[in-house]
Amino acid sequence: MSTLLLVKSSILGDNGQSSFLAEAFVKRWLAAHPDGQVITRDVGASPLPHLDGERFGAFTSDADSRSPAQQAVVDESDALVDELKHADVVVLGLPMYNFGVPSQLKSWFDHIARAGVTFEYTSEGPKGLLRDKPVFVFAARGGMYHASGNDHQVPFVRQFLGFIGLKQVHVTFAEGLAMGDQKQASLDDAMARMDTLVETARQAA
């Protein structure tokens, strides 16, 4: 049975266009995998705490010396990492806020980036420890950034995912969503790619 992890990060919930596109992909994926399992992690609706010194200290503490509070932090992070490890496909709804990723998504990144768990440093540099798998990113923006060379968001997401071992990153852009008639044309174009993306996921399985 294949497992898909859906990560949504819009502060608008299911009304966000990134969530709409991500959910549309999931519906098509389920149609092609009727026995498939979908795990949803909505960090926009249920945000994780931002990383601070105490939480980071919990990650770097020895298991035998952790306080109950530190262990709770580690347990929460372990659950997030396990979701990611056991998924065969990852779908990420990615809105753009002030040129970057939502802070709620950054918190999720911070809780799954664990030295010795999802990455390690070697003499040749960092090495991702997660099993590679396809990641489908649905990037929704009010303006036009990708073609203009002003997209600083997706390169960061690609770099982060690659850092932990996820290199099969497929990005679908929906841009100009605040630019009148451009919105529907951009959404239609993204929707037209769905069947091809589902086939890409099938071939990667």
Match 């664990």 to its residue by tokens: 114
Cross-strand partners of 125: 122
Supply the pTM of this predicted model: 0.96
- The CA distance from 89 to 133, in Å, is 6
- Tens digits of residue pLDDT in 48-102: 999 999 999 999 999 999 999 999 999 999 999 999 999 999 999 999 999 999 9
- The Cα 36–Cα 89 span in angstroms is 11
185: Cβ–Cβ under 8 A, 6 or more apart, which residues?
176
Identify which has the larger pLDDT, 149 or 196: 196
* Token pair listed for 144: 């036009």
Strand partners, 135: 90, 169
Cα–chain center distance at 69 = 27
Q: Is the distance from CB of 126 to CB of 191 less than 8 angstroms?
A: no
- pLDDT at 26 > cutoff 80: yes
Judge: domain 3-204, CATH 3.40.50.360.
yes
Could you tell me which of 138, 142, 140 has the C-alpha nearest to residue 177? 142
**Token duo for residue 183:** 């919105």
User: What is the DSSP secondary structure assignment for residue 147, as one 8-state letter?
Assistant: T
Residues near 91 by beta carbon (within 8 Å), at least 6 away in sequence: 4, 5, 6, 7, 22, 25, 26, 29, 135, 136, 138
